[in-house]
Amino acid sequence: MFAALPRILRTSSFRLTLLCIGSFGASVLILFGVMYWAASVYMSNSLDAAVDSDITELADVLQVGGDAALEALVKERVRQTPHGPMFYLLQDAKGDVVAGNLLPVRGGEGRFELKVRNSDAPHVTAHAHSIALPDGGYLTVAVDSFPRNKMRKLILWVFGCSAATSLLLAFGGGALMSVNLLRRIETISRAARDIMAGDFSRRIPNRGTGDEFDHLVASLNAMLARNEVAIESVRQVSNDIAHDLRTPLTRLRQRLELAQRQARSVEGWRRAAQGCISDMDAILETFGGLLRIAQIESGVPTRRFTKVDLSELLRTVIEVYQPMAEEKEQRLTADIASGLIVWGDRELLTQMVANVIENAMKHSPSGASIGLATSTSPTMIAVAVSDSGPGIPAEERVHVFRRFYRLERSRSTPGSGLGLSLVEAIAALHLAGIELTDNGPGLCVTLRFHAPDQPPPARYCLAKSQQEARPLPASSSQCRPDTTEGERSGPV
């Protein structure tokens, strides 16, 4: 605690506390000052009034009965109250005391304070008023100013006590607040250091009180989760590159070595070069695919999302692929409803649909027919691409979205094994669901989109691992069921 004290004193909250104490204290001081002054004035005035009324009375007696009557009255009064609260003094023109219980004064006319000897206390302060008499003498009347002094003392005492208590409380509270604040900041910075040290799954603990710190921590944790996904995606790509680009690169190298050893003619070299170029193209294609998936999974900016005319998009893709299907002697048919609108990135959606169609075409034999059909429900738009190819066995469907996963029998067909991974990445970005079902025979791939009047996907929608970190709103959860895992794949 003591070691931390200097740091506490440096915290912004403590400084803020000091500032509050300063300004609050100043205003209280002014308030008390005014109060003190006003009370003093009020009390002085009432003392004045008491003295003045007595003087008036005595002056009246003087006027009516003359000096003798005044002297008699003063003596009578002194006899009645020798110890106050009223004190009297009658002096003649020479200043000698004629009557009274006050020491002689030489102040002339006016108001003044004086000390009175008293039997109880050595001195009592009194508030006096002297007036000159017609014969040149002076009449002085004084009143014990004890009530005023007592009130002044009381005010000072109350002020002192309450100021000390408030100061103590404020300092204590400030220190406590700072300690608390420091502790929470320390938790956050400790988590930050852990993360910097490489523990990307580390999160800042939340106290669950719902205060502004919890709010900040929740935001930071969401950011960390998002970063983790991005980092994980990059790591995944480097792993994939290591595993799956090394093989074709090795093959390329072998081909070149072989050519160097064996090629004897220009024609041989040309053939070798041709082979190398097509190897290289395949490698570049894989490389491009990996980069694209990584880019999408690490969170393509969803600010590019707009309302996309899905019907028009599907027709365009069909238009582009129809000639290619004809080349492969396949039939590509489409049944597309008009006016389908989804929320997303046009280019990525085009790529997704194209990949699904390409996948169907690639794995279907000549003469097969491939169909694309749309269907709608109030909340969802479904696009189903079905083929009459060999299909995918139910137990394999779990794996087809994995990068480089290729069914045993498709090893010989060209392709990078990334097509469906890309489809999944794009679907996840759009919070669309993918379903693989048996088309008996063949495969049916269904993409399910939100209708655009549904709330648009969360701004930071990300690929799968992110969704564990931040649960989606209930309305979207129906769109990302386990179907990507191939478990709800309908009749097999």
Partner 1 sequence: MKILLIEDDRENADYVANGLREEGHLVAQVASGAEGLICAMGNGFDLLIVDRMIPGLDGLNLVKSLRAAGNHTPVLFLTALGGVEDRVSGLNAGGDDYLIKPFAFSELVARVAALGRRPHATVAETRLHVLDLELDLLSRTVRRHGKLIELQPREFQLLEYLMRHAGQVVTRTMLLEHVWDIHFDPHTTSSRPT
Structure tokens at 362: 């690639």
3-state secondary structure of 337: coil
DSSP H or E segment with residue 88: strand 86-91
Q: How far is CA 58 from the centre of its chain?
A: 79
Tokens of 232: 């994980």
Q: Is the CA virtual torsion 173, 174, 179, 182 positive or negative?
A: positive
Cα gap 3→22, rounded to integer Å: 26
Element spanning 74, H or E: helix 12-80
CB of residue 356 vs partner 1: minimum separation in angstroms?
12
CA separation, residue 86 to residues 67, 89, 226, 273 (Å) = 20, 10, 87, 129
Phi, psi of 133 (to 5 degrees): -100, 160
* CA distances in angstroms from 15 to 2, 167, 180, listed in the order given: 18, 14, 15
Give me the least distance between CB of 337 and partner 1, in Å please. 19
In angstroms, what is the minimal distance from the CB of 280 to partner 1? 8
294 near 237, Cβ under 8 Å? yes
Peptide bond into 85 cis (omega under 30): yes
Q: How far is the CB of 173 from partner 1 (least distance, A)?
A: 51
Nearest approach in angstroms of CB 423 to partner 1 is: 13
Query: What residue ranges bind partner 1 (CB under 8 A)?
Result: 281, 284-285, 288, 291-292, 295, 300-301, 304, 316-317, 319-321, 324, 327-328, 345-348, 350-351, 354, 358, 361-362, 415
C-beta separation of 452 from 343 below 8 A = yes
The four Cα atoms 445, 330, 322, 490 give a dihedral, to 10 degrees, of -10
Q: What's the min distance (Å) between Cβ of 373 and partner 1?
A: 21
Smallest separation (angstroms) from partner 1 to the CB of 474: 31
275 torsion bin: left (phi>0), alpha (psi -120 to 50), beta (else)? alpha
Contact indicator for 368, 385 with CB cutoff of 8 Å = no
Give the integer Cα–Cα distance in Å for 60 and 217. Answer: 85
Measured distance CA(114)–CA(76) in Å, rounded = 22
Q: Is 251 helix (H, G, I), strand (E, B) or coil?
A: helix
Smallest distance, Å, CB 220 to partner 1?
26
Length of the chain equals: 492
Structure tokens at 161: 């006590």
Q: Provide, rounded to whole angstroms, the least separation between the CB of residue 415 and partner 1.
A: 7
Start-end of H helices in 263-309: 266-297
